[in-house]
Chains A and B, each alone.
Chain A
Amino acid sequence: MSTVDSSSSRLSVLKTYKLYVGGKFPRSESGRVYEVSDSKNKWLANAPLSSRKDARDAVVAARKAFGGWSGATAYNRGQVLYRVAEMLEGRRDQFVREVADAEGLSKSKAAAVVDAAVDRWVWYAGWTDKIAQVVGGANPVAGPFFNLSTPEPTGVVTVVAPQESSFLGLVSVLAPVIATGNTAVVIASEQAPLPALSLGEVLATSDVPGGVVNILSGRTAELAAPLAAHQDVNAIDLTGVTDDALAKELEIAAADNLKRVLRPQPVDFAADPGTHRLTAFLETKTVWHPTGSLGASGSAY
């Protein structure tokens, strides 16, 4: 991030990067920050170094938002997610710059990444009101019962965002979680948290209700441990955990309240995402009701 605008001698205004929790932009309650630099070790910003307390606050915010977000119509969630894509498109230049700095990409490669991320929001925006028809449906039980299975969000999901793909990767793991009505606590890429923190600003202006997405920056291991063990978190996506021993430790902690765990796996974020990230954090509810009988032979017409 250049401190002096190249076209003039004007000193630019730097941004204070802050967390995004409960729809607000707090600093870490710990008062800690850490230096974030680009691939050439040039200082970019001081990002909040979130604490366990920040993580717990984020869970409280996510839980509070769950009822409203999961209860919103799928159409409404689709509109909100599409609005995120619109807002991102408008901030394209900013994100191209931030992604280029964060990931050491050329401007054209960073632009391709940001475009793919915008398109991914659009892809998931369209899924909100389709996934129930794809994975749910009526079951032909052998008896006089109406029987219907519908997918429902599992609850509060901790998302350990990918370390390398700081923006497209983040969007690719976050969007499916909230598309289906879950709320999220995101641990941003440790080395490259700035695009994630800026995404919070986009979400805040996209009609995403406060608390639906909460974004923390800091040490992945320090934040993931309390979130994996948190009794009010329902699931955890370990995609951004690169250390096998830590991944195992987190999965063991997650077993205490039987969190749904998506294990780390190599992912090509440029590829067609498929539906498995949508279904990973869905429950299936099956409702039975007697149909009664208006005559055994049925209608011939």
Chain B
Amino acid sequence: MASQTPQAAAQAAAQAFDYAPAPESRSVVDIAPSYGLFIDGEFSDAADGKVFKTVSPATEEVLSEVAQAGADDVERAVKAARKAFEMWSALPGAERAKYLFRIARIIQERSRELAVLETLDNGKPIKETRDADLPLVAAHFFYYAGWADKLDHAGYGAAPRPLGVAGQVIPWNFPLLMLAWKIAPALATGNTVVLKPAETTPLSALFFADICRQAGLPKGVVNILTGYGDSGAALVAHPDVNKVAFTGSTAVGKQIARTVAGTDKKLTLELGGKGANIVFDDAPIDQAVEGIVSGIFFNQGQVCCAGSRLLVQESIQDELLDSLKRRLSTLRLGDPLDKNTDIGAINSAEQLARITALTETGEAEGAERWSAPCELPSAGYWFAPTLFTNVTQAHTIARDEIFGPVLSVLSFRTPDEAVAKANNSQYGLSAGIWTEKGSRILSVASKLRAGIVWANTFNKFDPTSPFGGYKESGFGREGGRHGLEAYLAPSSPKGERK
């Protein structure tokens, strides 16, 4: 094998031990040809009758046609949520808790169906929806269910109050998980919800509406409006919305912050990132490589907390990159429903175009591109795992969020330089540290301006663990006790209101 490069050897091995297809069955999910808006416990068409299609990004097959909410529909949904608020907020916490526990249990029961549905609509591998998204969705509802009757003890005053109607707008990268992050704490604290899923991934939210029905959730407590950005804009601008929660791009987040300026609406934003994954020379290389791969290629890199900037100590750069390229050559890209698939489809043609344009900019600015040698399917939206070397901090691909399977590699010599480079970003969502030295982990972690720091691991999530950014990655936290604050008006002592 001496004449072969490590990548070629890995490729040869991959071919020698090829996998047979192992597709997950689609029959577990029954997608209707069309869906309405879910308002006040009923599905109905948009007032102006507009609809749009949602496609499977892996095949471009049309999955269903869904209603496109306009201003009249937003009005109706907010009204329904307002009406339901009176009853829902007055319900004893223990009763609200039981509804949420029911929802958590039904999600567990229907998790395979939802995993397949999510994979179809989003394009991510079934391995991820089955083993990450869905278990976390159920766990999130289970966690916040337990808070509903314990809010007096949460540290937000003796009798914290719900805010009212929450307008929530979520992205397409983790459709059902982002729904859970938004709806579970809102309902536990006694708020009612109007939620708008992303236009490319509306289906799991509509299936969630059916779960609300099965759980016997009172009508109007959860309302789902499918639509494009203008539907979301109308929702956050609605004067009878008391709370706005948004996960998505920093540009849209800023626009929402301007929209709610001068109002009493409480705002939390979970936005973009350009996470630095820092590998020191004493790191266990094989574990670090796995962490780098999960950091940027999990969910095709369409993750706000992705470790999209690899900062590697100069002395181990060559060794690490060899290992990384060898590992990337073994990733299996293709049918997201195949249980062996590591890399699924990019969510939309639009996102693929953005990733393509940014990588072209990377090459044009002088960075060196390497893409894993893998065959891309002819239909659907695909992008091979890619990394760039010779990247400087001034390069666009080191500064802008690509939101795709593209890793920018930079090097450093000293811990101080690593910290300075990691913090040299408008964003501050996540960071990673790989080293065997405990004191270095703690000192570097304390200096990183990021909301989540993963040390010797990456991309770990849990309902009890607060998630959210510094700087232009947004404000507020989701998850844990901290996540309650976004939905509560503390009854502060002696007249001071928050």
Which of A's residues lie within 8 Å of B, judged by CB?
134-135, 139-143, 145, 147, 149, 154, 234, 244-245, 247-248, 251-252, 254-258, 260, 263, 265-268, 271-274, 276, 283-290
Contacts of A256 in B (CB 8 A): 254
Contacts of B174 in A (CB 8 A): none
Contacts of A154 in B (CB 8 A): 470
Apart from A272-B493, A285-B450, A287-B445, what 15 extra A-B contacts exist at CB < 8 Å? A142-B464, A251-B258, A254-B257, A255-B258, A258-B269, A265-B498, A266-B497, A268-B494, A268-B495, A268-B496, A285-B453, A286-B451, A288-B452, A288-B454, A290-B456
Q: Which of B440-496 contact A (CB under 8 A)?
A: 441, 445, 448, 450-457, 460, 462, 464-468, 470-472, 474-475, 477, 480, 482, 490, 492-496
Q: Are B262 and A149 in contact (CB under 8 A)?
A: no
Contacts of B464 in A (CB 8 A): 139-142, 147
Report which of A142, A252, A274, A276 forms a contact with B462, defined as CB distance below 8 A: A142
Contacts of B249 in A (CB 8 A): none
Q: Are B466 and A286 in contact (CB under 8 A)?
A: yes
Q: How many chain-B residues does the 8 Å CB contact rule pick out?
A: 48
Contacts of A267 in B (CB 8 A): 496
Interface CB pairs A-B, < 8 A, 27: A134-B155, A139-B462, A140-B464, A142-B462, A142-B464, A143-B460, A147-B465, A251-B258, A251-B262, A252-B258, A254-B257, A254-B261, A255-B258, A255-B261, A257-B426, A257-B472, A258-B250, A258-B253, A258-B254, A272-B493, A274-B490, A283-B451, A284-B468, A286-B451, A289-B455, A289-B457, A290-B456
Report which of B466, B471, B495, B497 forms a contact with A258, defined as CB distance below 8 A: B471
Q: Are B455 and A284 in contact (CB under 8 A)?
A: no
Where chain A touches its partner, the secondary structure class is mixed
Contacts of B445 in A (CB 8 A): 285, 287
Contacts of A283 in B (CB 8 A): 451, 470
CA distance A150 to B456 in the complex (A): 19
B266 to A, closest residue via Cβ: A263
A145-B460, A247-B262, A248-B261 known; A258+B474 contact, CB < 8 A = yes
CA distance A139 to B483 in the complex (A): 12
CA distance A284 to B486 in the complex (A): 13
Closest chain A CB from B94 CB (angstroms): 22
B 403-446 to A, binary, CB cutoff 8 A, 1 in contact else 0: 00000000000000000000000100000000000000100010
Q: Are B261 and A252 in contact (CB under 8 A)?
A: yes
B139, CB-defined interface residue at 8 Å: yes
Q: How many A-B Cβ pairs are below 8 Å?
A: 125
Contacts of B472 in A (CB 8 A): 257-258
Closest chain A CB from B354 CB (angstroms): 21
Q: Are B460 and A274 in contact (CB under 8 A)?
A: no
CA distance A64 to B445 in the complex (A): 21
Contacts of B493 in A (CB 8 A): 271-272, 274
Closest chain A CB from B448 CB (angstroms): 8
Closest chain A CB from B333 CB (angstroms): 28
Contacts of A252 in B (CB 8 A): 258, 261-262
Contacts of A140 in B (CB 8 A): 464
Report which of B462, B482, B492 forms a contact with A284, defined as CB distance below 8 A: B482
Contacts of B482 in A (CB 8 A): 135, 149, 284
Closest chain A CB from B163 CB (angstroms): 14
Q: Are B468 and A271 in contact (CB under 8 A)?
A: no
Closest chain B CB from A209 CB (angstroms): 19
Closest chain B CB from A99 CB (angstroms): 22
Contacts of B269 in A (CB 8 A): 258
Among B253, B464, B465, B495, the one with the most A-chain Cβ atoms within 10 Å of its Cβ is: B465
Contacts of B261 in A (CB 8 A): 248, 251-252, 254-255
Contacts of B462 in A (CB 8 A): 139, 141-143, 145, 147
Closest chain B CB from A124 CB (angstroms): 15
CA distance A248 to B257 in the complex (A): 11
Contacts of B457 in A (CB 8 A): 145, 288-290
Closest chain A CB from B176 CB (angstroms): 18
CA distance A266 to B494 in the complex (A): 12
B 129-166 to A, binary, CB cutoff 8 A, 1 in contact else 0: 00000000001000000000000000100000000000
Q: Are B467 and A248 in contact (CB under 8 A)?
A: no
CA distance A274 to B492 in the complex (A): 7
Q: Which of B266-283 contact A (CB under 8 A)?
A: 269, 271
A256 to B, closest residue via Cβ: B254
